[in-house]
Amino acid sequence: MPHDTLTLALWQCPYAAHPAAALARLDATASRARAQGAELLVCPEMSLTGYQIGAPAVAELAEPADGALAQAVSTIARRHGIAIVYGYPEHNAQGKPYNAVQFIDADGQRIANYRKTHLFGDIDRAQFSPGPQAPAVFDWQGWRLGLLICYDIEFPEPSRGLALQGADMVLVPTANMLDFDEVQHVLLPARALENRLFVAYANACGQEGDTTYGGLSTVCAPMGGVLAQGGRGEEWLQVSVSRSALAAARSTSPLKDRRTDLA
């Protein structure tokens, strides 16, 4: 049966020094989020390894989608009965690893995996290969969900592609830096409104080397309203989204009037 309401938590956190430390913190956070009623926990981009760690470290830590990190997250998800979206470097036999995110359900099953398609400047290009496939919608508990990563949400096309596949919500692990707050304040509400879907954007915070991450993790409603937004420090946001709000927003959707003959 489809669930009319979905309760999700966004974990806004600094990067841990090592994957083992990141997994220990994830375990504790998943336990706490589930105890508060969350069904889904969304973590930042590259949440298990760190983001700006350099190409050699990314290559060393990269693993397949069913590797040791996935198995560890699967165990955590089963232990606490909560679905988890997390970021990691995915092994690529043809070149540099992919910047990937994976959705593991509360039974520990791998439901969806996505590789970042839009690489951000020299930081991403030095460490990763661009994902070769457009994002795809998947079903979970009666909801149609899509995955994007950070810079992807700053382009209209990935979100629109998911909307045209029937996505109800886009989950976006990210590592957006300080001084780029226009993403949270302008682009996320716009993506939600123009596509009539929920957007859940889980950002990192704190320092990583010389970089400061901006926090402001955000959940937007299908009419563009901000349902929840974090501050600059470590926290988690918890919010419930409903299919009734989605249906009301879609009753006025402009998507039916698109001139596809001109695209």
Give catalytic residues, as residue numbers.
45, 116, 150
Q: Give, in order, the Cα–Cα distances in Å from 47 to each of 44, 183, 196.
A: 5, 20, 28
- Cα separation, 34 vs 253, in Å, equals 34
Burial class (CB in 10 A: 0-12, 13-18, 19+), 65: middle
Half-sphere CA count of 42, side-chain side, radius 13 A: 29
User: What are 183's two structure tokens?
Assistant: 């993403």
